Amino acid sequence: MAKEIATSNAPAAVGPYSQALEVGPFVFASGQIPLDPATGTIKGETAVDQAEQAFTNIEAVLKEAGLSMKDVVKTTVFLTDLNDFGPVNEVYAKHFVKPFPARSCVEVSALPKGAKVECEVIAYKG
């Protein structure tokens, strides 16, 4: 049975989904865009600023589950412009430690609310 993970320290879901679900030893976190949890609006103009907020939101969800970024085993990063890969990668490297999670990064045509960055993670409670 899945256990819902929810926190007011990250944006509420913008659709019919959970912020995260704990299933066995894994936590599957839904994609986080750079929404300010207090206002519900996009925080940051650049992909770098937006990535910082998206990772801050992920950290809040993981904290609610009793985890941290070092427990993340897989990430998927979505960018609306793959030219932002390098700068966003620098932000990414500040939030994760070795051994770094497995990762996919893809360019998409659009993200919710006009965001430039979205990231989803899978974490392991080991």
Catalytic residue IDs: 105
Let me know the angle formed at the C-alpha of 35 by 112 and 118, rounded to the nearest 5 degrees: 50
Q: What type of residue sits at position 121? A: V
What is the SS3 assignment for 61? helix
The CB density around residue 96, as the number of other CB atoms within 10 Å, is: 16
